[in-house]
């Protein structure tokens, strides 16, 4: 089970308190009417599915109830960083050199 630091609550909590929300930063088109089928399919069905760092959404359903994003290594399942929804994805290189605590 993952131990997930919620950036809103500023506390680590067990995975059971959270709901996974899929890949992060997959933006819905600003003007849906102008989007063709190919672009809709990309938005709906195609994901990065990386072997390595993955930016993903989580929701603290049994806590603050708020969405946030998480950078996790999909090989080790180690969580590298969590950050509030709306904030930019942290630079993985800087985290690797500076954030090894």
Rule CB under 8 A: which residues touch another protein?
Answer: 1-2, 15-16, 19-20, 23, 37-39, 41-42, 44-51, 54, 56, 72, 74-77
Least distance between another protein and beta carbon 72 (Å) = 7
* Contact yes or no for 89/55 (Cβ under 8 A): yes
* Contact yes or no for 67/6 (Cβ under 8 A): no
Least distance between another protein and beta carbon 45 (Å) = 4
Cβ-based neighbours of 47, under 8 Å, separated by 6 or more: 22, 23, 26
DSSP state of 8: T
Name the residue nearer to another protein (CB basis): 77 or 97. Answer: 77
Name the residue nearer to another protein (CB basis): 51 or 65. Answer: 51
Name the residue nearer to another protein (CB basis): 7 or 55. Answer: 55
DSSP state of 74: T
Name the residue nearer to another protein (CB basis): 37 or 98. Answer: 37
Q: Per DSSP, what are the bridge partners of residue 54? A: 72
């Amino acid at each position: 089970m993952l131990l997930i630091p919620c950036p809103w609550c500023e506390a680590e909590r067990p995975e059971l308190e959270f709901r996974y929300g899929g890949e992060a930063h997959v933006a819905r088109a600003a003007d849906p009417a102008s989007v063709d089928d190919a672009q809709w399919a990309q938005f709906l069905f195609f994901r990065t599915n990386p072997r390595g760092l993955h930016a993903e959404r989580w929701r603290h359903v049994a806590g603050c109830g708020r969405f946030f994003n998480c950078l996790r290594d999909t090989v080790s399942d180690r969580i590298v960083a969590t950050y509030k929804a709306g904030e930019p994805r942290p630079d993985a290189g800087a985290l690797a050199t500076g954030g090894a605590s």
